[in-house]
C-alpha cells in the first residue's frame, strides 16, 4: 500500500471514530470504548494502591471522600439535567489519599481518584480540594483519557505511514531517520501537546462548574492556581512546550469562569458557597 492510500484509510478511520461528548458538545477522536478502558483503569488503580501507602481513618482521608461524593452528586445532577441520566452507570467511584509528597491528584477513567498528601497544603482547605477534585473528575467525564489514547494510537499509525512512504520513495536510511525524527518532534509539539493543553482548559471549566454546583466557592479556582504558581517557583517550560497552560493563563481563565460557574450553580438552586 502506498503512502497516500495508507493516510487515506487512516483519515477514514478517524472520521468514523469521532464521538460527541455530552458535556462539551464537541466531536472528539475516541475509538476506545468504556468497556475496554474502564477494566484497564480499574486494574491499574488497584495495582497502584497495592504499591503505595494509602491513608485511611484520618480527617484528611475523610475529607477526600466527602468532597469526592459531593462532586459525584454534582456531576449526576448536571447529567440528569441534560438527559444523560445513565452516563455514570458503569463508573465505580473510589477516593483515596496516598502518602506521597508529590503535588498531584488524578482521576482515572471510570471514577477512580487519588490525592497525594503533597497537594493538600496547596489546596489549603476543603474548598481547595473541591476545585482540584472537580478538575480531575472533569477529565474522566469528558473522556480525556480515551481521547489521549486514541490520539497516541493515531500518531503511531500516521508515523508508520510516513516511514513506509520514505522507504517506498527510495530515500536513504540516514535521510529516513531525519524524516522520522522530524515527524516525531513536529507531531508532538504541533499536535499532542496542544491537544493536552486543550484538555486542561476544558477540565478547568467543567471542574469549576462541578465545584460550584456542589456548593464550593468558584472564586477559589484562581486563588488555588495562584498558590500553585507560588509553589512552582516560576520554574515551568514555555507554554507552547507544555502539556498544561501557563499558570498566568490558567489564573486569568479561572477568574473569567468564576461568575459563569456561579450562574450555572444557580440553575440547581445553589446560591451560597462554602
pLDDT of residue 31: 59
Q: Write the DSSP string, 17-66.
A: TEEE-TTT--EEE----HHHHHHHHHHHHHHHHHHS-EE-SSHHHHHHHH
Closest to 224 in 3D by CA, of 130, 122, 135, 126: 122
pLDDT(19) > 90: no
pTM to 2 decimals? 0.77
Average pLDDT of the chain is 79
Closest to 49 in 3D by CA, of 104, 92, 112: 112
As a whole number, mean pLDDT of residues 2-20 equals: 49
Top-confidence residue, 240 or 205: 205
Rounded to whole angstroms, how far apart are CA atoms 264 and 261? 5
Task: Give the residues across from 20 on adjacent strands.
Answer: 27
pLDDT of residue 190: 42
Confidence of residue 9 (pLDDT cuts 50, 70, 90): very low
pLDDT(187) > 50: no
Percentage of the chain lying above the pLDDT 90 cut: 52
pLDDT of residue 170: 46
Q: C-alpha distances in angstroms, 137 versus 1, 110, 111, 159, 237?
A: 42, 9, 7, 32, 26
Top-confidence residue, 72 or 34: 72
As a whole number, mean pLDDT of residues 172-180 equals: 48
Top-confidence residue, 8 or 216: 216
For 61-98, what is each residue's pLDDT tens digit? Answer: 999 999 999 999 999 999 999 999 999 999 999 999 99
Top-confidence residue, 183 or 85: 85
pLDDT of residue 13: 45
For 210-259, what is each residue's pLDDT tens digit? Answer: 999 999 999 999 999 999 999 987 666 554 445 567 888 899 999 999 99
Contact yes or no for 158/7 (Cβ under 8 A)? yes
Top-confidence residue, 196 or 49: 49
pLDDT of residue 255: 98
Residue reference for cell 460527541: 20
Q: Is 125 helix (H, G, I), strand (E, B) or coil?
A: coil
pLDDT(273) > 70: yes
Long-range contacts (CB closer than 8 Å, 24 or more residues apart) made by 81-85: 81/267, 81/268, 82/22, 82/23, 84/22
The residues annotated as belonging to the active site are 136
pLDDT(42) > 60: yes
For 132-159, what is each residue's pLDDT tens digit? Answer: 999 999 988 987 665 566 455 545 544 4
Q: C-alpha distances in angstroms, 179 versus 8, 153, 158, 159, 173?
A: 20, 19, 13, 10, 10
Rounded to whole angstroms, how far apart are CA atoms 216 and 74? 11
Amino acid at each position: 500500500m502506498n503512502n497516500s492510500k495508507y493516510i487515506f484509510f487512516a483519515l477514514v478511520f478517524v472520521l468514523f471514530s469521532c464521538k460527541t461528548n455530552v458535556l462539551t458538545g464537541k466531536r472528539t477522536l475516541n475509538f476506545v470504548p468504556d468497556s475496554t478502558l474502564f477494566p484497564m483503569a480499574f486494574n491499574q488503580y488497584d495495582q497502584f494502591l497495592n504499591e503505595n501507602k494509602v491513608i485511611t481513618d484520618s480527617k484528611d482521608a475523610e475529607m477526600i471522600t466527602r468532597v469526592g461524593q459531593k462532586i459525584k452528586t454534582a456531576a449526576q445532577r448536571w447529567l440528569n439535567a441534560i438527559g444523560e441520566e445513565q452516563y455514570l452507570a458503569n463508573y465505580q467511584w473510589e477516593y483515596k489519599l496516598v502518602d506521597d509528597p508529590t503535588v498531584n491528584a488524578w482521576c482515572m477513567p471510570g471514577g477512580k481518584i487519588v490525592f497525594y498528601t503533597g497537594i493538600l497544603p496547596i489546596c489549603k482547605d476543603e474548598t481547595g480540594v473541591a476545585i482540584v477534585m472537580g478538575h480531575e473528575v472533569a477529565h474522566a467525564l469528558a473522556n480525556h483519557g480515551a481521547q489521549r489514547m486514541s490520539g497516541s494510537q493515531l500518531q503511531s499509525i500516521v508515523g508508520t505511514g510516513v516511514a513506509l512512504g520514505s522507504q517506498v520513495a527510495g530515500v536513504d536510511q540516514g535521510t529516513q531517520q531525519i524524516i522520522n525524527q522530524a515527524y516525531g518532534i513536529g507531531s508532538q509539539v504541533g499536535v499532542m501537546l496542544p491537544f493536552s493543553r486543550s484538555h486542561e482548559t476544558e477540565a478547568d471549566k467543567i471542574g469549576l462548574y462541578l465545584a460550584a454546583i456542589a456548593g464550593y466557592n468558584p472564586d477559589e479556582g484562581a486563588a488555588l492556581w495562584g498558590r500553585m504558581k507560588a509553589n512552582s517557583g516560576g520554574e515551568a517550560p514555555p507554554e507552547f512546550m507544555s502539556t498544561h497552560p501557563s499558570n498566568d493563563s490558567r489564573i486569568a481563565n479561572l477568574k473569567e469562569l468564576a461568575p459563569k460557574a456561579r450562574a450555572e450553580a444557580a440553575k440547581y438552586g445553589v446560591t451560597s458557597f462554602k
